[in-house]
């Protein structure tokens, strides 16, 4: 159905940005702990994956984080430039105690779908660089419902209702429009196969 096709595209084929790796000074692996920091490295990575990143460029970008305790560190403490926007600045990352500091860098990329940490590993990455799972799709949840509908005296229609939840980097209306565009571009490959398909009028205005 149309609803199911749109749902699949919304959840898998829209472009987005995400963190691909993180490097924390003094940390060599994800099972490490950091003096003065409540969370271990694994928990910090999980929290970093929750960043809602909006990138205005196609190239990779490096984000920097440098904090001193005591502090509850959030996404808003990450240093960005005009190419990157963090739309959930209150998103919690970790808590650091007084007398301690932490410096980290994060790499952000713009792609589609989902890439596991293994796919983000680079042979030339500096020692201590930790690859993370990247969820690029900006759509978090999609529900749809099909109900019978009547237009005038004709009750042979269906009404499609779609509920879309995003991470805030795109509004639901734009996400729906983009997913429809993706479907149209793919289906046009078939309509262009014959002149009959291109010339035939399928959708006609309903008489009022």
Please answer whether residues 89 and 124 qualify as being in contact, where contact means their C-beta atoms are separated by less than 8 angstroms.
no
pLDDT tens digits, 133-189? 999 999 999 999 999 888 877 888 889 999 999 999 999 999 999 999 999 998 888
pLDDT for res 198: 67
Residue 74: domain span = 16-135
CA distance 113 to 16: 8
Q: Using 50, 70 and 90 to split pLDDT, how confident is the model at 197?
A: low
- On whether residue 208 sits in a domain, the answer given is no
104 and 155, same domain (yes or no): no
pLDDT for res 202: 65
What are the backbone angles phi and psi of residue 148, rounded to the nearest 5°?
A: -60, 145
Please answer whether residues 130 and 22 qualify as being in contact, where contact means their C-beta atoms are separated by less than 8 angstroms.
yes
Q: How many domains does the chain have?
A: 2
112 and 31, same domain (yes or no): yes
**Is the model's pLDDT at 207 over the cut of 70?**
no
* Residue where a domain stops, chosen among 112, 135, 158: 135
129 and 37, same domain (yes or no): yes
CATH number for the domain harbouring residue 168? 3.30.1360.10
**Is the model's pLDDT at 71 over the cut of 80?**
yes
Count the Cβ atoms, other than its own, within 10 Å of residue 135: 16
Cα maximum dimension of the chain: 75
41 and 130, same domain (yes or no): yes
CA distance 19 to 131: 9
pLDDT for res 99: 97
Please answer whether residues 19 and 88 qualify as being in contact, where contact means their C-beta atoms are separated by less than 8 angstroms.
no
């Amino acid at each position: 159905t149309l609803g199911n096709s749109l749902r699949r595209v919304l959840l898998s084929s829209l472009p987005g940005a995400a963190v691909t790796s993180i490097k924390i000074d003094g940390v060599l692996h994800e099972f490490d702990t950091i003096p003065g920091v409540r969370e271990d490295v694994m928990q910090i990575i999980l929290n970093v994956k929750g960043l809602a990143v909006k990138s205005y460029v196609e190239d990779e970008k490096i984000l920097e984080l440098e904090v001193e305790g005591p502090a509850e560190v959030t996404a808003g403490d990450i240093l960005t430039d005009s190419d990157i926007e963090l739309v959930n600045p209150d998103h919690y990352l970790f808590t650091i105690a007084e007398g301690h500091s932490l410096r980290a860098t994060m790499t952000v990329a713009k792609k589609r779908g989902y890439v596991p940490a293994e796919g983000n590993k680079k042979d030339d990455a500096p020692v201590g660089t930790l690859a993370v799972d990247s969820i690029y799709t900006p759509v978090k949840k999609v529900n749809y419902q099909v109900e019978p509908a009547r237009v005038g005296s004709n009750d042979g229609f269906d009404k499609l209702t779609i509920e879309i939840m995003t991470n805030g980097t795109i509004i639901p209306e734009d996400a729906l429009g983009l997913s429809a565009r993706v479907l149209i571009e793919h289906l046009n490959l078939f309509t262009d196969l014959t002149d009959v398909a291109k010339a035939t009028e399928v959708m006609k205005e309903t008489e009022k």
